[in-house]
Amino acid sequence: MSQDLAYAARLLLDAKRILVFTGAGISTESGIPDFRGTEGIWTKLSPEDFQLDRYLADSKVRIRAWATRFPKMFGNAEPNGAHTAVADLWNSGKLIGCVTQNIDGLHQAAGLPQEAIAELHGNGDGIACVQCGAPHEPKEIEQRWSDGDIDPHCDHCGGILKSTIVFFGEVLPHRELERANMWVEQADAVVSVGSSLSVYPAAYIPLEIASRGDTFIIINNSPTDLDSLASLRLDGMAGEILPQLVSAITA
Protein backbone atom coordinates (compact mmCIF):
# COMPACT_ATOMS: atom_id res chain seq x y z
CA MET A 1 0.00 0.00 0.00
CA SER A 2 1.34 3.47 -0.89
CA GLN A 3 2.15 5.96 1.88
CA ASP A 4 -0.68 8.24 0.75
CA LEU A 5 -3.18 5.41 0.83
CA ALA A 6 -2.03 4.37 4.30
CA TYR A 7 -2.39 7.98 5.49
CA ALA A 8 -5.90 8.21 3.98
CA ALA A 9 -6.83 4.98 5.77
CA ARG A 10 -5.55 6.39 9.09
CA LEU A 11 -7.62 9.55 8.63
CA LEU A 12 -10.75 7.52 7.89
CA LEU A 13 -10.17 5.08 10.73
CA ASP A 14 -10.51 8.08 13.04
CA ALA A 15 -13.87 8.98 11.46
CA LYS A 16 -17.20 7.52 12.53
CA ARG A 17 -19.58 8.92 9.93
CA ILE A 18 -18.09 9.10 6.43
CA LEU A 19 -19.97 10.80 3.60
CA VAL A 20 -19.03 9.69 0.08
CA PHE A 21 -19.63 12.21 -2.72
CA THR A 22 -19.51 10.80 -6.24
CA GLY A 23 -19.38 12.21 -9.76
CA ALA A 24 -19.31 10.95 -13.32
CA GLY A 25 -15.68 9.73 -12.90
CA ILE A 26 -16.75 6.84 -10.67
CA SER A 27 -18.67 5.38 -13.62
CA THR A 28 -16.17 5.83 -16.48
CA GLU A 29 -14.63 2.41 -15.67
CA SER A 30 -18.14 1.00 -16.22
CA GLY A 31 -18.05 2.44 -19.75
CA ILE A 32 -20.14 5.59 -19.15
CA PRO A 33 -18.32 8.72 -20.32
CA ASP A 34 -18.01 11.76 -18.04
CA PHE A 35 -19.05 15.24 -19.20
CA ARG A 36 -15.91 17.06 -19.98
CA GLY A 37 -13.32 14.48 -21.07
CA THR A 38 -12.22 13.95 -24.70
CA GLU A 39 -14.84 11.17 -24.96
CA GLY A 40 -17.23 13.17 -22.75
CA ILE A 41 -21.00 13.33 -23.20
CA TRP A 42 -20.84 16.90 -24.47
CA THR A 43 -18.78 15.77 -27.49
CA LYS A 44 -21.88 13.81 -28.61
CA LEU A 45 -24.90 15.68 -27.20
CA SER A 46 -25.66 19.38 -26.99
CA PRO A 47 -25.96 20.81 -23.45
CA GLU A 48 -28.63 23.24 -24.78
CA ASP A 49 -30.95 20.27 -25.34
CA PHE A 50 -30.88 19.75 -21.56
CA GLN A 51 -32.08 23.28 -20.71
CA LEU A 52 -35.55 22.97 -19.18
CA ASP A 53 -37.03 26.03 -20.95
CA ARG A 54 -35.84 24.86 -24.39
CA TYR A 55 -37.13 21.35 -23.73
CA LEU A 56 -40.56 22.67 -22.79
CA ALA A 57 -40.77 25.15 -25.65
CA ASP A 58 -39.56 23.09 -28.58
CA SER A 59 -40.85 19.67 -29.68
CA LYS A 60 -37.72 19.15 -31.83
CA VAL A 61 -35.59 19.31 -28.64
CA ARG A 62 -37.88 16.77 -26.93
CA ILE A 63 -37.78 14.44 -29.94
CA ARG A 64 -33.96 14.49 -29.84
CA ALA A 65 -33.99 13.91 -26.06
CA TRP A 66 -36.25 10.82 -26.34
CA ALA A 67 -34.01 9.46 -29.11
CA THR A 68 -31.07 9.53 -26.65
CA ARG A 69 -33.23 8.06 -23.82
CA PHE A 70 -34.38 4.98 -25.76
CA PRO A 71 -33.67 2.11 -26.08
CA LYS A 72 -31.49 2.33 -22.95
CA MET A 73 -29.61 5.38 -21.83
CA PHE A 74 -26.57 3.68 -20.35
CA GLY A 75 -26.53 0.48 -22.43
CA ASN A 76 -25.68 -2.52 -20.27
CA ALA A 77 -23.28 -0.72 -17.93
CA GLU A 78 -22.43 -2.68 -14.78
CA PRO A 79 -21.08 -1.31 -11.48
CA ASN A 80 -17.30 -1.43 -11.06
CA GLY A 81 -15.08 -1.98 -8.02
CA ALA A 82 -15.53 1.60 -6.81
CA HIS A 83 -19.34 1.26 -6.66
CA THR A 84 -18.95 -2.06 -4.82
CA ALA A 85 -16.52 -0.45 -2.37
CA VAL A 86 -19.12 2.22 -1.48
CA ALA A 87 -21.66 -0.56 -0.78
CA ASP A 88 -19.03 -2.39 1.33
CA LEU A 89 -18.44 0.80 3.34
CA TRP A 90 -22.20 1.01 4.00
CA ASN A 91 -22.29 -2.64 5.14
CA SER A 92 -19.42 -1.91 7.54
CA GLY A 93 -21.54 0.78 9.26
CA LYS A 94 -19.06 3.61 8.63
CA LEU A 95 -20.90 5.26 5.71
CA ILE A 96 -23.50 7.83 6.70
CA GLY A 97 -24.64 8.26 3.11
CA CYS A 98 -23.58 8.62 -0.50
CA VAL A 99 -24.43 11.88 -2.25
CA THR A 100 -24.16 11.38 -6.00
CA GLN A 101 -24.35 13.67 -8.99
CA ASN A 102 -24.79 10.59 -11.18
CA ILE A 103 -28.00 9.55 -12.85
CA ASP A 104 -26.92 6.06 -13.90
CA GLY A 105 -28.26 3.96 -10.97
CA LEU A 106 -24.95 2.07 -10.60
CA HIS A 107 -24.70 2.64 -6.82
CA GLN A 108 -28.03 0.81 -6.40
CA ALA A 109 -26.91 -1.88 -8.88
CA ALA A 110 -23.84 -2.46 -6.67
CA GLY A 111 -26.08 -3.17 -3.67
CA LEU A 112 -26.19 0.22 -1.94
CA PRO A 113 -29.77 0.65 -0.63
CA GLN A 114 -31.80 3.63 -1.84
CA GLU A 115 -32.00 4.97 1.75
CA ALA A 116 -28.20 5.41 1.67
CA ILE A 117 -28.20 7.46 -1.57
CA ALA A 118 -29.10 11.07 -2.32
CA GLU A 119 -29.34 11.52 -6.09
CA LEU A 120 -28.88 15.28 -6.42
CA HIS A 121 -29.33 15.31 -10.18
CA GLY A 122 -32.19 12.84 -10.35
CA ASN A 123 -32.18 9.44 -12.00
CA GLY A 124 -32.17 8.39 -15.64
CA ASP A 125 -34.58 5.51 -14.93
CA GLY A 126 -37.78 7.44 -14.31
CA ILE A 127 -40.21 9.40 -16.49
CA ALA A 128 -42.74 11.90 -15.12
CA CYS A 129 -45.14 14.60 -16.30
CA VAL A 130 -43.74 18.11 -15.96
CA GLN A 131 -47.24 19.52 -15.36
CA CYS A 132 -49.01 17.14 -12.92
CA GLY A 133 -45.96 15.14 -11.75
CA ALA A 134 -47.55 11.74 -12.55
CA PRO A 135 -44.88 9.06 -12.89
CA HIS A 136 -45.04 6.97 -16.06
CA GLU A 137 -43.78 3.43 -16.60
CA PRO A 138 -40.65 3.79 -18.81
CA LYS A 139 -41.35 0.49 -20.62
CA GLU A 140 -44.82 1.74 -21.67
CA ILE A 141 -43.47 5.08 -22.88
CA GLU A 142 -40.71 3.29 -24.77
CA GLN A 143 -43.37 1.11 -26.45
CA ARG A 144 -45.39 4.19 -27.44
CA TRP A 145 -42.19 5.83 -28.72
CA SER A 146 -41.23 2.77 -30.83
CA ASP A 147 -44.79 2.74 -32.18
CA GLY A 148 -44.25 6.25 -33.54
CA ASP A 149 -45.29 8.59 -30.66
CA ILE A 150 -41.96 10.46 -30.77
CA ASP A 151 -43.05 13.29 -28.41
CA PRO A 152 -45.11 11.39 -25.82
CA HIS A 153 -47.45 13.33 -23.49
CA CYS A 154 -49.01 12.56 -20.10
CA ASP A 155 -51.77 9.91 -19.88
CA HIS A 156 -53.60 11.94 -17.22
CA CYS A 157 -53.36 15.65 -18.08
CA GLY A 158 -51.76 15.77 -21.53
CA GLY A 159 -48.69 17.59 -20.14
CA ILE A 160 -45.14 17.20 -21.43
CA LEU A 161 -43.28 14.11 -20.26
CA LYS A 162 -39.64 14.29 -19.20
CA SER A 163 -36.97 11.98 -17.87
CA THR A 164 -36.46 12.36 -14.10
CA ILE A 165 -32.91 13.61 -14.73
CA VAL A 166 -32.52 17.17 -13.39
CA PHE A 167 -32.14 19.48 -16.40
CA PHE A 168 -30.24 22.78 -16.42
CA GLY A 169 -32.53 25.46 -15.02
CA GLU A 170 -34.46 22.96 -12.88
CA VAL A 171 -34.38 22.99 -9.07
CA LEU A 172 -32.69 20.05 -7.33
CA PRO A 173 -35.08 17.44 -5.88
CA HIS A 174 -36.11 18.71 -2.44
CA ARG A 175 -36.06 15.36 -0.58
CA GLU A 176 -32.65 14.38 -1.90
CA LEU A 177 -31.18 17.77 -1.04
CA GLU A 178 -32.67 17.65 2.45
CA ARG A 179 -31.18 14.21 3.11
CA ALA A 180 -27.79 15.26 1.72
CA ASN A 181 -27.76 18.33 3.99
CA MET A 182 -28.65 16.22 7.03
CA TRP A 183 -25.69 13.92 6.28
CA VAL A 184 -23.41 16.96 5.83
CA GLU A 185 -24.31 18.10 9.35
CA GLN A 186 -23.60 14.68 10.85
CA ALA A 187 -20.52 13.59 8.86
CA ASP A 188 -17.01 13.83 10.28
CA ALA A 189 -15.23 13.03 6.98
CA VAL A 190 -15.95 13.23 3.26
CA VAL A 191 -14.44 11.30 0.36
CA SER A 192 -15.04 12.75 -3.10
CA VAL A 193 -14.69 10.19 -5.91
CA GLY A 194 -14.51 11.01 -9.63
CA SER A 195 -15.79 14.56 -9.58
CA SER A 196 -14.25 17.74 -11.00
CA LEU A 197 -15.98 19.49 -8.03
CA SER A 198 -16.95 22.27 -10.39
CA VAL A 199 -20.74 21.91 -10.52
CA TYR A 200 -22.80 23.89 -7.97
CA PRO A 201 -24.80 23.62 -5.80
CA ALA A 202 -23.64 19.95 -5.62
CA ALA A 203 -20.01 20.87 -4.80
CA TYR A 204 -21.19 22.69 -1.63
CA ILE A 205 -21.62 19.23 -0.06
CA PRO A 206 -17.88 18.43 0.27
CA LEU A 207 -17.01 22.12 0.50
CA GLU A 208 -19.07 22.58 3.65
CA ILE A 209 -17.53 19.57 5.42
CA ALA A 210 -13.99 20.58 4.40
CA SER A 211 -14.54 24.22 5.43
CA ARG A 212 -15.23 23.29 9.04
CA GLY A 213 -11.92 21.38 9.18
CA ASP A 214 -13.15 17.80 8.92
CA THR A 215 -11.24 15.24 6.86
CA PHE A 216 -11.64 15.75 3.10
CA ILE A 217 -10.12 13.14 0.77
CA ILE A 218 -10.25 13.48 -3.01
CA ILE A 219 -9.86 10.48 -5.33
CA ASN A 220 -9.59 11.71 -8.91
CA ASN A 221 -7.40 11.20 -11.97
CA SER A 222 -7.03 14.92 -12.74
CA PRO A 223 -6.97 18.16 -10.73
CA THR A 224 -10.28 19.38 -9.21
CA ASP A 225 -11.51 22.83 -8.24
CA LEU A 226 -11.28 22.03 -4.50
CA ASP A 227 -7.82 20.42 -4.37
CA SER A 228 -6.46 23.26 -2.23
CA LEU A 229 -8.94 22.38 0.57
CA ALA A 230 -8.23 18.63 0.60
CA SER A 231 -6.60 16.87 3.57
CA LEU A 232 -5.19 14.51 0.94
CA ARG A 233 -5.51 13.84 -2.81
CA LEU A 234 -5.22 10.29 -4.13
CA ASP A 235 -4.40 10.61 -7.80
CA GLY A 236 -5.57 7.76 -10.06
CA MET A 237 -8.43 5.49 -11.00
CA ALA A 238 -11.38 5.23 -8.63
CA GLY A 239 -11.90 1.53 -9.40
CA GLU A 240 -8.38 0.76 -8.18
CA ILE A 241 -7.99 3.17 -5.26
CA LEU A 242 -11.37 3.09 -3.50
CA PRO A 243 -11.57 -0.72 -3.03
CA GLN A 244 -8.07 -0.70 -1.44
CA LEU A 245 -8.97 2.20 0.82
CA VAL A 246 -12.27 0.66 1.93
CA SER A 247 -10.74 -2.74 2.64
CA ALA A 248 -7.98 -1.06 4.67
CA ILE A 249 -10.53 0.56 6.99
CA THR A 250 -13.09 -2.23 7.19
CA ALA A 251 -10.83 -5.31 7.45
DSSP-derived pairing of the beta strands 18-22 and 95-100 = parallel
Tell me the closest approach of the beta carbon of residue 91 to ligand NAD, in angstroms.
22
Minimum distance, C-beta of residue 27 to ligand NAD, in the bound complex (Å): 4
Stretch of 89-97, 136-144, 172-180, 190-198 lying at the interface with ligand NAD (CB under 6 A)? 190-198
The residue within the footprint of ligand NAD, chosen from 9, 21, 25, 81 (CB under 6 A), is 25
> Shortest approach of ligand NAD to residue 190 CB, angstroms?
14
Annotated catalytic residue within 121, 136, 153, 174: 121
**Strand pairing partners for 119?**
100
Among 100, 235, 228, residue whose Cα is nearest residue 176: 100
Residues 184 and 229: their CA atoms lie apart, in Å, by 16
Q: How many residues sit close enough to ligand NAD to count as binding (CB under 6 A)?
A: 28
Alpha-carbon distance of 76 to 5, in angstroms, equals 32
Residues 38-67 interacting with ligand NAD (rule: CB under 6 A): 41
Contact 135, 157 (CB under 8 A): no
Written as one letter, the residue type at 219 is I
- The interface region with ligand NAD, picked from 45-53, 59-67, 95-103, 177-185 by CB under 6 A, is 95-103
Residue from 32, 65, 116, 209 binding ligand NAD (CB under 6 A):
32
At residue 163, φ and ψ (nearest 5 deg) are -60, 155
| 121 classed as catalytic | yes
Asked whether position 163 contacts ligand NAD by CB under 6 A, the answer is: no
Alpha helices of the chain — where are they, by DSSP H? 3-13, 52-57, 59-69, 81-92, 106-109, 138-146, 174-186, 204-211, 238-250
Using CB under 6 A as the criterion, which residues of the chain lie in contact with ligand NAD when the complex forms?
A: 23-25, 27-29, 32, 34-36, 41, 101-104, 121, 194-196, 198-199, 220-222, 224, 237-239
